[in-house]
Structure 1
Amino acid sequence: PILKNDMKYWPFEIINHDGKLKIRVQHKNETKLFTAEEISSMILTKMKDMVEAYVGKPVSDAVITVPAYFNNSQRQATKDAGTIAGLNVLRVMSESTAAALAYGFDKEIFNEKNILIFDVGGGTCNVSIVSIDHGVFEVKSTAGNTHLGGEDFDTRLVDRFVREFKYTYGKDISENKRSIRRLRTACECAKLDLSSSLQATIEIESLYEDIDFHSTITRACFEEINADLFRSTLVTVKKALRDVRMNKNSIDDIILIGGSARIPKLQQMLQDFFHGNELNRSINSDEAVAYGAAIQAAIIVRDKSK
C-alpha cells in the first residue's frame, strides 16, 4: 500500500518483471526496464566521471554510504551497484558513522561523548546515537522513518495547491502527471525559500490547459500543514534514545544532517526537546556524510599501504 501511494507521484512505473521489481521508463521513444541497482550504478558512474574529470586521473576505489537502517541485502545491492559502475567498493558504511567521523576526526576526544545525529533528507528521517571515545566511533542506536522527509513536506504543499487550483478554476489536476511534476518542482523551491524567508511564491506558466498558476504561501502555513510530520521526527528521536536506554541529558552534542534539517521549525522543536541546548552547526549538513566517507577511504588506503 505504501509503495502504491508513492507511485502516483513518480514520473516512471514500477512493474513486476520475472519476479523482480523493475523501473519502466520511456527514453528516445523506447521502453526500457532497469533494476534499482542499475539505476544506482548510473548515478555512481556519473559521479565517478565527475571526480575523474576533476582530479585528472582514473578513480577505481570507493567508500559508499547508506542509511543506517539498511539491512544486509540492501547494503549488498548498493555494493553491487558500485561494482556495475566499475568501482572497487572498499566499504559500505552507514551515513551516521560517516557524519560522526566528519564531526570528530579533527577533535581530541579523551572522554566518551554521546553524539545524536539528526538526519532529515529527501525521503527519510534517521536518528543515530554515536559514542566517540579516544578515536573509537560506535553506533549505539538507530531509529528511522522511511516516509518522513523533504519529499513528504513537498507532497503536503502539492496537495494544498491542487485543492487551491480546483477551488479557483474548477479543474482537478491530481491525475495529470505532467502538471503534478511541475507543481512538485515549484513546491520544492518554495520549501527551500521558506527556510530563509517568511513567504514564498509559486509561479507556473500553463500549469494545466493553458492556465497560468500564481500563488503564495507563508512559513506559518507551511509549518501548520506539516505539523504532524514535524512532530513525528521527535518520535524518531525518542525511539533512538529509548532503544539505548539513554535520557536526553546524556547527549553531549547534536549534529544536523540533510537538507530538510535546515527547516527552522524542525530546528526549534529539536532544540526545545533538548532543553534549549544549542545545535551543532560546525559541519556542513549537505557535505558531512561525503566528508566522513572520504576520511574513511583515506584511512583504509593508508592502512593498506603500510
Structure 2
Amino acid sequence: MAFSSLSRLRLLWCVVALCIISINRVECIAVMSVDLGIEWMKVAIVSPGVPMEIALNKDSQRKTPVAIAFRDGERHFGEQAVSTGVRFPDKSYSHFLDLLGKERNNPVVKEFERRFPYYKLEADAKTGGVLFKHPEGMTFSPEELLGMVLAYARELATNAAEQPIKDAVITVPAFFNQAERRAVAQAAKLAGIKVLQLIGANTAAALNYGVFRRKEFNDTPVHILFYDMGTGSTTATVVSYQTIKTKDKILAEHVPQLSIKGVGYDRFLGGLEFKLRLGERFAKEFSALKKTKQDVFDNKRGLAKLFKEADRVKKVLSANTEHVAQVENVMEDVDFKHPITRAEFEEICDDLFKRVAAPIHMALSSAGMTLGEIDQVIVVGGSTRIPRVQQELHAALGNSRELGKSINADEAAALGAAYQAAYLSKGFKVKVFHVKEACLFPIQVDFSREVDTDGVKSTKVVRRVLFSRNNLYPQKKVMTFSRYTTVLCTLPSTMG
C-alpha cells in the first residue's frame, strides 16, 4: 500500500527527530554533585536519559565515609579506610574538612587536636597551613587529602553514569568563608573536577525542597525554616520562596526563586560531639576496671575501638531507652561491657543539648523576622533523629508546631546540588529555579586615592564595603575609577 504525502512527511519528521535525539545524547555530558560533609559524602549524578540519582559506592551504599587510609603502599577509601582507622588510627584520615584553609594556630585546629589526639600536626613552612605528619615520614595537607577523596567520588560517579564526568557542584557548609571555599576548589582541581559552583549545603537542601513544589509558589513569599544538624555542625536557615517576573529575550515569564534570608549556626554542635562524649565515658569506665598495664587513654587503638562502639550505641539509643556497649579485646585481651541508658546519655551531653535552639534564634535575628512569620519548619541531617534534639526543637518552636520531615534528610542536599549542576551544564535543559544565596561575611575593597592637602600631595587608602553581611548573590556591583589604580579585595579570613 503506497504512503500518502502526509504519511511520508510524518515518517520524515520521525527520522529527523530520532537523529536530533541521538545527537543530543552524544553531545550531552553527565554531571555530578558531591554533598561534602565532615564525616560522610553523598554523590549524585545526572546523565542523558537518567534523572537525578544517588551514585552507589563499591559497597553498594548510598553514602560514603570521607576518609582515606595509607597502608602497605596502598590507598584505601570509604568503609575500608574507616576499618583501617580502628586498627591504625594514625594512618587513616577523616573529619579533616574543618582544617581546610586554616593556619596552624587557628582555634579550629586546636579543637581538632582535642577531638583527635592521635594525629600529629605541623605547620607548612611555605603557607603556614596545616600538615598531617604520617607515621612513615610523609606529610599531607587537608587539601591534598580532600583532593584524593574527591577523585574517588568522581570515580564513583563515572562508574554510575558509565561515562567520564568532570563537571560538578559541590556543597560546603554555609559558614565556610572564602579561604575555606578556595581550599575546596583547590582540592577539586587536584581531583580533575571542574567546579560549576560551590553551593551551601543548606541552600542545596532548600533547592531540592523547592523544585518538587514549584507549582505551590506564587508572588506571595513563603518562609520556611530549615534546621540541619549533621555530624560536625548545626545550621538553621530562613528561606523565602516566591515567583518573580523575568524577561528572557522577548517573552516575560514568572519563575520560582528561593532567597536565603538568614542563617544561624553552631560550628561544633553535631553527632560527632555526642559520640565523643559517649566515647570518653566508655574510656573512663574501662580505665576504672584497672585490668590493663597501660591506660586506655594512652592507647590509640583501644580508644578508636571504644569511640566506634560509642557511635553505634548513640544511634541505638535514638530508638531504644537502654542498651549495652560491648567491645571485644579493647586492649591486652580485656573486653568491655557496659550498660547505658538514654537518660544517662542525655545527662552526659546535657550542655550540648542546651545549644540546640541557639542557631534558630540566630537565623531569625539575621533575617529580621519573628518565629510567627515562619510558615513551616523542615528538619534535615541525621542527628535530628536524636529524641532529645527533637524535644529541644519543640520547646524552642512551640509544641504545637510540627517538625516537617517531607524531604530525605540524608540526600536532600546531594540531589539539590545535582539539579543545580544540570541547570549550569550546557548539556541539559531543566526548568528554571533561581537561587539567591546570602553572603554571611562582608566583602570589602581597598584602593588608593591621591589627595591634596594645602598643596601637599599624599596617598590615602579608601575602604568600601562591596557586599555587606547577608547580601544576596549572584549579583554585580560596578565601581568606576577616574584613573588607573590598584584595588585590593579583602575577604574575611576569620572562622565566623
Answer yes or no: same fold by TM over 0.5: yes
State the AA in 2 paired with 1:56.
E
- Aligned match of 2:144: 38
| Equivalences for residues 221-232 of structure 1 within 5 A | 221-232=344-355
- Aligned match of 2:186: 80
- Aligned match of 1:22: 131
Structure 2 CA distance for partners of 1:224 and 1:103, relative to 1, 3 Å: same
State the AA in 2 paired with 1:144.
Y
- Aligned match of 1:265: 388
- Aligned match of 1:279: 403
Corresponding residue to 1:169 among 279, 290, 298 = 290
Corresponding residue to 1:146 among 239, 242, 267 = 267
Structure 2 CA distance for partners of 1:257 and 1:62, relative to 1, 3 Å: same
2: CA distance, partners of 1:218 / 1:211: 23
Could you list the per-position Cα deviations for residues 194-229 of structure 1 after superposition, in whole angstroms to 9, with x for gaps in the alignment? Answer: 112222221111112221001121112111211211
Please give the root-mean-square deviation of Cα atoms over the aligned residues, in Å. Answer: 1.9
Could you list the per-position Cα deviations for residues 34-86 of structure 1 after superposition, in whole angstroms to 9, with x for gaps in the alignment? Answer: 11111111111111111111111100100001000111121111111111110
Q: Does 1:297 align with 2:421?
A: yes
Could you list the per-position Cα deviations for residues 81-122 of structure 1 after superposition, in whole angstroms to 9, with x for gaps in the alignment? Answer: 111110110000111110100111111211311121111111
> Which structure has more helix as a fraction of its residues?
1
1: CA distance, partners of 2:323 / 2:134: 33
State the AA in 2 paired with 1:104.
G
| Equivalences for residues 1-306 of structure 1 within 5 A | 3-10=109-116, 11-18=118-125, 19-26=128-135, 30-107=136-213, 108=215, 109-110=217-218, 111-134=220-243, 135-169=256-290, 172-276=295-399, 277-301=401-425
Deviation at 1:303, TM superposition (A): 8.5
TM-score, normalised by the number of residues in structure 2: 0.58
Could you list the per-position Cα deviations for residues 150-197 of structure 1 after superposition, in whole angstroms to 9, with x for gaps in the alignment? Answer: 111011101211221222336632232211111111100111111122
1: CA distance, partners of 2:298 / 2:371: 45
1: CA distance, partners of 2:330 / 2:420: 46
Any conservation in 2 of the 1:101–1:292 contact (CA below 8 Å)?
Answer: yes
Structure 1: gaps spanning 5 or more residues: none
- Aligned match of 2:44: none
Deviation at 1:6, TM superposition (A): 3.0
Q: Which has the higher contact order (CA 8 A, sep 6+)?
A: 1
Paired residue total: 303
SS at match of 1:102: helix
Structure 2: gaps spanning 5 or more residues: 1-106, 244-255, 431-496
1: CA distance, partners of 2:428 / 2:179: 27
1: CA distance, partners of 2:157 / 2:405: 27
2: CA distance, partners of 1:89 / 1:2: 26
Any conservation in 2 of the 1:9–1:181 contact (CA below 8 Å)?
Answer: no
Q: Bigger radius of gyration, 1 or 2?
A: 2
Deviation at 1:304, TM superposition (A): 7.7
Structure 2 CA distance for partners of 1:20 and 1:6, relative to 1, 3 Å: closer
Any conservation in 2 of the 1:9–1:180 contact (CA below 8 Å)?
Answer: no
SS at match of 1:174: helix
Deviation at 1:32, TM superposition (A): 2.0
2: CA distance, partners of 1:14 / 1:304: 44
State the AA in 2 paired with 1:156.
R
Any conservation in 1 of the 2:238–2:260 contact (CA below 8 Å)?
Answer: yes
TM-score, normalised by the number of residues in structure 1: 0.93
1: CA distance, partners of 2:259 / 2:142: 30
107-116 vs 90-99, which moves further: 107-116
Any conservation in 2 of the 1:116–1:129 contact (CA below 8 Å)?
Answer: yes
**Percentage of identical aligned residues:** 35
